[in-house]
Amino acid sequence: MVEFHFIGDVDEISDEQRKFISDIVEKRGFKNVNIKIQPVGKAGDNYAASVKRIIVENDGESFKMIAKIAPKSEMRRAVGYVNNYFRNEQVMYTEVLPKFAELEKNADIPEEERLRYAKCYGTYMKEPNEIILLEDLEVPGFKILDRFIPLTDDTVRLILKNLAMLHSLSYVLKYQETETFEKFCESLVNFWLLMANIPEMTDYFDKLDADVQMLIDDEKYKNALKHAGKQLLPRAAELAEIDSSTKFSVIKQGDPWTNNIMFRLEDDRTIECCMIDYQLSTLSSPVADIHYMIFNCTDHATRAKHFHDWIDYYHTQLNNNLAKFGLKIEDVYPRHQLDADLKSYIKVSLGQAVMLASVLVRDSEDAAKLTDAMNSADSSGSMEEMIEQTKVSGLGPETIKKFKTRLQGVVDSFIEFGYL
């Protein structure tokens, strides 16, 4: 009988998940060995899942995986629609991304020019024990950058190149295999529409907007950001309706911020990147990914210098990728439509910037408090403590300063680019 012994950071791994991991490890040819579990990242790096590194070693052979493990807290699962997140990622890793790889292979796209994504070793979707096992990209030399350091021009271009690959393959599938594309889209749940169905979200955004108005001093910024949070979900719902009926929509990555992208470096310079989180993937405008990454991962000074070149670069990359499949960008996603979408997504992007800033500026200690509040909400049966912990005004002066600087930079960029 084959037996495995789990050691290390094992507290969050259920018996069902251990059984699933053991089955995968056994299929890799390992028997009767220790399965070592290590935490990945710090508090604030991940909120929707617990991420662990799995290490198996035997006779000089080593095998590593990354495990994304669903939270067990009932309140956190209910508020976060956790199963939907994991279903989205399962669909992306087991169906959509492999299909995109098939399209590239059939078109004889050289391997070095194909979209890179982590191999998926298996998924288990039985609630509340969802787990997804993925390739450990640190093995081939990828790493996560510091989330507090704004991305550089070169790094942004790498991400835009990858987004253009992802979006172009979505268009190719839509044009070549429409039924398959539509099936995938029906399987992917829109996160923003889910949030709109949570009554407590109104209270959350009201308090977030009040925090912004209290912390921001300059009237220019106060006026620009007024009700930005409260307007996010209604506007996102409107755009979701539009995106579902327009030919310009794609399957987006959904959450392309610094911690959801890994980079391979050479002499401290990023030379390759790989997106690693697809929990928020759904049907949307390509601009949803572009705005999300640029306005939440870069600073105003870099945007002011490079923004228009970035948009040109993305559209050029999209054109080049589509041409490999015999598609013309004028028919698929013309530049005038990209420019129109960049403007139509402003209210959503502003609301996202406010919401994400309240979370992403937290240091590990404050992020741990927020996670603890999410988990302890079960005992109180209420979201009040969790919502209270999201208030930026309760954080330290340096964190508040980062919050204000980030939001003021977004407003300055929107004004400079003619969006406000």
276-332 pLDDT, tens digit per residue, is: 999 999 999 999 999 999 999 999 999 999 999 999 999 999 999 999 999 999 999
What's the rounded mean pLDDT across residues 9-13?
A: 92
Which token pair is 348?
Answer: 């959503």
Please indicate whether residue 260 or residue 193 has the higher confidence score (pLDDT). Answer: 260
- What does the alpha-carbon distance between residue 160 and residue 168 come to, in Å, rounded to a whole number? 12
Q: What is the mean pLDDT of the chain?
A: 92
Q: Is the pLDDT assigned to residue 43 strictly greater than 80?
A: no
Determine the pLDDT at residue 385.
67
- Residue 18's alpha-carbon distances to 3, 5, 36, 49, 82, in angstroms, are 11, 10, 12, 17, 20
pLDDT tens sequence across 277-291: 999 999 999 999 999
Helical (H) or strand (E) element with 364 = helix 364-380
Q: Is the pLDDT assigned to residue 90 strictly greater than 70?
A: yes
User: Sign (positive/negative) of CA torsion 39, 45, 46, 47?
Assistant: positive
Which token pair is 11?
Answer: 């507290």
Q: Is the pLDDT assigned to residue 377 strictly greater than 70?
A: no
Q: Is the pLDDT assigned to residue 387 strictly greater than 60?
A: yes
Determine the pLDDT at residue 79.
67
Helix (H, G, I), strand (E, B) or coil at 241: helix
Determine the pLDDT at residue 82.
87
Give one word for 418, left, alpha or beta, with left for phi > 0 and alpha for psi -120 to 50: left
What's the rounded mean pLDDT across residues 235-263?
A: 94
CA dihedral 348, 352, 353, 358 (to 10 degrees): 150
> Are the beta carbons of 168 and 322 closer than 8 angstroms?
yes
What's the rounded mean pLDDT across residues 94-112?
A: 97
- What does the alpha-carbon distance between residue 214 and residue 308 come to, in Å, rounded to a whole number? 33
Determine the pLDDT at residue 400.
94
What's the rounded mean pLDDT across residues 354-365?
A: 90
- 252, exposed or middle or buried, with CB in 10 Å at 0-12, 13-18, 19+? buried
Domains of the chain by range and CATH?
A: 141-416 (3.90.1200)
pLDDT classification of 410: cutoffs 50, 70, 90 = very high
What's the rounded mean pLDDT across residues 85-104?
A: 97
pTM of the entire structure? Answer: 0.95
- Residue 236's alpha-carbon distances to 12, 231, 354, 387, in angstroms, are 34, 8, 14, 21
Determine the pLDDT at residue 376.
62
Q: Is the pLDDT assigned to residue 15 strictly greater than 80?
A: yes
Least confident of 47-51, 142-146, 208-212: 47-51
The backbone torsions φ and ψ at residue 307, rounded to the nearest 5 degrees and listed phi first, read: -55, -50
> Are the beta carbons of 54 and 133 closer than 8 angstroms?
yes
Tokens 């870099």 label which residue?
Answer: 302
Amino acid at site 131: I
Determine the pLDDT at residue 202.
85
Determine the pLDDT at residue 230.
92
% pLDDT > 70, the chain: 93
What's the rounded mean pLDDT across residues 5-13?
A: 94
Helix (H, G, I), strand (E, B) or coil at 1: coil
